[in-house]
Amino acid sequence: MQKSFTYEQLRKAEVFRIAPTDTNYFAILFDPANSATDAIFVIEIFNVDGATPPNSHSDAHEFFYVLHGEGIASSDGDELPISKGDALLLEPGSVHVVKNTGKTKLYTLTVMVPNQDFSQLIRSGERVALDEEDLAILAGQAA
């Protein structure tokens, strides 16, 4: 009998940086490769001064919930500051960027529905690891 849930521990999650020069990386919680979903759920971590490249998804909504840090989100020329506790939902087709403007790393829970091959793009990158700062902040053990 198949379980009615999928479970992941952040410490055991697979972590990737899409390109060697990227300033953000992803801890995959759930995606089509490890669960029965057509979405992707990640913890996205932005280094200080890090940002996503400008990007767009023709059919997917992308959701960011800020867990720690602060930044600026821009979409189709509109900008707004984001910080811990803020939620942002981007519409399909919008050209957007999220940039860390704080003095510490920026952490977001990022969800894309549907996945629209984002999982495959992330998994095609280089494997990296969460550091002790990442694990402490995400466990609520650091300021």
Single-letter amino acid, residue 1? M
- pLDDT at residue 3, rounded to an integer: 76
Please report whether residue 143 resides in a domain.
no
In this predicted structure, what is the pLDDT of residue 4?
86
Residue 2 pLDDT greater than 70, yes or no: no
- The CA angle 42-107-57, to the nearest 5 degrees, is 50
Q: How confident is the model at residue 143 (pLDDT cuts 50, 70, 90)?
A: low
Residue 2 lies in a domain: no
Number of domains in the chain: 1
Q: Is the pLDDT of residue 29 over 70?
A: yes
Q: What pLDDT is recorded for position 111?
A: 98
Quick check: is 71 in a domain? yes
Summary mean pLDDT of the chain: 95
Q: Is the pLDDT of residue 1 over 90?
A: no
As to burial, measured by CB atoms within 10 angstroms (0-12 exposed, 13-18 middle, 19+ buried), residue 27 is buried
Residue 109 lies in a domain: yes
CATH number at residue 48: 2.60.120.10
Distance CA 4, CA 124 (A): 28
H helix count then E strand count, the chain: 2, 10
Would 53 be classed as within a structural domain?
A: yes
Do 97 and 51 contact (CB within 8 A), yes or no?
A: yes
Judge contact between 115 and 40, C-beta under 8 A.
yes
d(CA 95, CA 137): 29
Of 2 and 4, more confident: 4
Tokens of 113: 């529905």
Within a domain: 49: yes
Question: Residue 116, by phi and psi: left (phi above 0), alpha (psi -120 to 50) or beta?
Answer: left
Q: Which range of residues forms the domain containing residue 42?
A: 13-138
Distance CA 17, CA 20 (A): 7
Q: pLDDT digit string (tens) for 60-101?
A: 999 999 999 999 999 999 999 999 999 999 999 999 999 999
